[in-house]
Every structure is written in structure tokens, then in C-alpha cells.
Amino acid sequence: MAISYEWNVSTVDTYPTKNSKSDVVHNVHWRLKATDDTNKDSDGNNWTADVYGSQAVDTSDLSSFKAFADLTASDVQGWVEAALGADEVTAMKASLDANIAAKITPTSVTKTIG
């Protein structure tokens, strides 16, 4: 089972102005999606699982401020991963992997009688 991961960090909350800077990102609404690139469901779609949340961004030091128009998804993803910490990101990915594995080989199935 080969799993790929994709971050979506395109939605952010900003301060209109802070310390004479404009559009200062202070919170990121993120989603991490895992896709099994090998196994497919009965409709032929790759199995997926996702987790989402929001992460506050430290704005106490704006010495390395980057203008909003110049921000990339990679920049923002880096902030989120750094704030969450490597152990938390690894744990989330492991949880997504387990979620997909449970979909592929369920240990319980709900059925309707009748």
C-alpha cells in the first residue's frame, strides 16, 4: 500500500494590519489528505482519508515577514508543520494510514436486515 499525502493550507485568517505590516497571517485552516495510490474501492476510486484543523501562527516577531501576495502554499505548510511538530505530523499520517487500511479490510460492517 503506497500512500501519498497532500496538504491544503489555502484558507487563512489575517490581521489587516499589525506592526505596520498588511495582511499578517495569524491562523491557518488546514487539511491533510492521504491517498492510497495502489488500492481502489468498488467504484475504481483510490481509497482516501483526511484530517483537518486550524493552527495559530506566531506573529510576535515579524522580522522575516513575507508579503501576503508573495506567500506560497509551501510557505504556509511549513509554518503549520513546524507549529504542529514532526511527531504530531507523523502521528496524523499513521492515523490516516490506519483509516485507509480499515476501509480496505474492515473489521466490522454495518448491514440492514430486511
What is the structure's pLDDT at 1? 65
CA distance to 52, 85, 100, 104, per residue, from 64 (Å) = 27, 20, 39, 45
What pLDDT score was predicted for residue 85?
A: 97
pTM higher than the cut 0.85: yes
pLDDT value, residue 51: 98
| pLDDT value at residue 47 | 96
pLDDT value at residue 7 = 98
In tens digits, the chain (114 residues) has pLDDT values of: 699 999 999 999 999 999 999 999 999 999 999 999 999 998 999 999 999 999 999 999 999 999 999 999 999 999 999 999 999 999 999 999 999 999 999 999 899 999
CA 6 to chain centre: 7
By C-alpha distance, which of 57, 59, 56, 40 is closest to 48?
40
In angstroms, the CA 80 to CA 86 distance is 10
Q: Cell for 90? A: 507523523
Give the pLDDT score at 33. 98
